[in-house]
Structure 1
């Protein structure tokens, strides 16, 4: 099944959308809709089911696996007590909340392009945590952050029509921007979907234009090359099964709430997301995509 076969009519012209409009289209669905099938932290990115360096791993449920993911990134970022954190693509604020309530951060600032996510974080009222409706490329401040985290945002930085040099230029601009926003030696923990067993030309033919229009995910080497000179990579995980398992858990939970979703949001939305989750799982199982986690240090 191609992406076009289950594309809602209202986004068939998705290629005309701006990046921010495309993200708003997806994430500004009712937060209550997502809360039905995500975990309690509303983590809409791959969980961490396994530690690849551990000899043995427990078998967590989705909630525990998502908490494992948050713990990994917060540990990797090493926010100093009383320090500050920048969360790029902060979602509904799980990292921000944990940073100020559990990790001793005095300040945690999240950037999002979703009005619903901004409202959710503002309503949370966590002392020291704040979100801005802001594209990181356009974010300007005199503040310098002691640590940074980005989960599930890097996928949206490049556009499908970009050739490889243009993609690399876009990624270098991101890392240069992050370099100016962080203190010397700051840690950056990054999680992103990446292309796996595909060439650059093959990847261009695979890009779906449904759920995340105007997005082109990176290859691992593009992330490393983009960071070179601004950040040094000190740790990398590359495991497609982590996201495949997350998507499997999501689609199972979505199905358990089918009656509620049909009653409140209609058949088109249910069908759209059920097929999206199922087809995305296949992409990871077939090694078209993988899930990468990087830990970097600012030069």
Structure 2
């Protein structure tokens, strides 16, 4: 009986075996915009190009061949089998940009595919275990527990945020803020821009001394402490135990314990009500689009009449694309993460009775923020690798560099939406014009 392997070998026997570089050129339709080298000694592209990729091992070929697309590329990169040329592994932005602009892979003919298969050999095409940083595929996670249940959300948040507080200190800088900063000028420092972001949120929410703020998904408590320093009573909630411990320690060190508290808690377990304002900075991406109605209903129930909500989150550029993240993001960065356009967010707020008063897109600001985080990772590379291992450091470098490109190219956006809980007769008790400095 003739097997598929026999058929492939027979069809391809007459063709000469291909080198790795020749295979790369075939798949890239002959146009390789940078230098490509491989472990078999073959090369493609421009030998004098300042940027490129080096495929170091057969294992890297297996990753690329068995999971075509961003997942296979990520596996080879995270494992160290695919090395960037001309850039630091903590910031492959320039290589990614060249690939985005000039590299277009094509589907080979059946005969060409047969020759590629014979040239690589069947052993190299057998799937192998992915790098340890990769979590289960979405269908396996769904089989093991209800998506966006409290337990499942706690697990996936821990996957991303309970990496190491020390690692995040190196990458994020003194502000310990893992959300988009707000720049007045491109030459502002990251710390200036993060302080400005908290100032903007604080002002949009019309907070003043003696007010009560609930900060949902508070991270390491930077918004909590910013508001408490100005006399606001704040409760923050995070599903990350490491974040909560770090934040409580920082609150105590600043002498803010009488005003501020960060709880290791699901936001759905917050019992207090009557808040003057709710800030949600970088949480909506995690809760699932189908849960927006219940989420905004929950927020509404926590506000007093006239209270304000500021929702700050990553969105897609439209409201029609699939909300699910790509394979790399879903398995390495934000398991169960979902994005949709700002129109859907505004719609869901309005549908439960919140009145939207203002929204703005800060996507260019996030590109600037990510550039600074990548630079911090590069500057502190040895310390980061010592703390979490090179594979995990590579995950963050690839994720942040790719995200920067996404914000620059309008693949994703960052929207702040300001809404108010109206009184029983539709009263908002707000100024007629914006009251904050942009």
Using the size of structure 2 for normalisation, the TM-score is: 0.61
Q: State the distance in 2 between where 1:108 and 1:231 align.
A: 22
1:5 is aligned, of 49, 53, 73, to 73
Matching residue of 1:92:
220
Match of 1:119 in 2: 245
| In 2, Cα distance between equivalents of 1:80 and 1:230 | 25
Q: Give the corresponding residue for 1:246.
A: 369
Measured against aligned partners, the alpha-carbon deviations of 1:200-225 in whole angstroms (never above 9, x if no partner) come to 24x54746212000110231111111
Mapped pair 1:190 → 2:311: yes
Once the two structures are TM-superposed, the CA of residue 3 in structure 1 deviates from its matched residue by 4.0
1:136-187 per-position Cα deviation (integer Å, ceiling 9, x unaligned): 2x224143211111110011010xxxxxxxx3x5111111111111101111
Gaps of 5+ in 1: 51-56, 159-166
The answer for the alignment partner of 2:210 in structure 1 is 82
Q: Aligned in 2, Cα 1:234/1:26: closer, same or farther, shift over 3 Å?
A: same
Per the alignment, residue 266 of structure 2 pairs with: 135
What does residue range 27-106 of structure 1 map to in structure 2 within 5 Å? 27-50=161-184, 57=185, 59-102=187-230, 104-105=231-232
Which segment drifts farther, 77-86 or 114-123? 77-86
Q: With a CA cutoff of 8 Å and minimum separation of 6, indicate the structure with the bigger relative contact order.
A: 1
Q: Secondary structure at the match of 2:180?
A: coil
Task: Give me the whole-angstrom Cα distance separating, in 1, the residues matched to 2:72 and 2:177.
Answer: 27
Shift of 1:14: 4.8
Quick one: structure 1 residues 274 and 81, their matched pair in 2 at CA, closer, same or farther if it must change by over 3 Å?
same
For the residue of structure 2 that corresponds to 1:45, the secondary structure is coil
Report if the CA contact (8 A) 1:14-1:22 is conserved: no
**Which residue of structure 2 lines up, in the alignment, with residue 212 of structure 1?**
334
4+ residue runs over 2 A deviation: 3-12, 203-208, 262-265
Q: Is the 8 A contact 1:171 1:226 kept in 2?
A: yes
Change (3 A) 1:191 1:269: same
Q: TM-score, normalised by structure 1?
A: 0.87
Summarize deviations over 1:237-258 as a string: whole Å, max 9, x none: 1132111111111111110111
- Residue pairs, 1:157-196, within 5 angstroms: 157-158=287-288, 167=289, 169-196=290-317
Matched with 2:274 is: 144
Whether the 8 Å CA contact 2:319–2:341 is kept in 1: the answer is no
Closer, same or farther in 2 for the Cα pair 1:19/1:142, shift >3 Å?
closer
Alignment of 1:254-265 (within 5 A): 254-265=377-388
Structure ID, larger Rg: 2
> Measured at CA, do residues 204 and 150 of structure 1 come closer, stay the same or move farther in structure 2, by a change above 3 Å?
closer
Which of 153, 160, 174 is the matching residue for 1:26? Answer: 160
Q: Distance in 2 between matches of 1:42 and 1:293?
A: 20
Q: Aligned with 2:333: secondary structure? A: coil
Cα distance, 1:14–1:206 mapped onto 2, change above 3 Å? closer
Distance 1:60 1:142 in 2: 38
Structure 2 unmatched runs, 5+: 1-68, 76-130, 146-151, 423-438
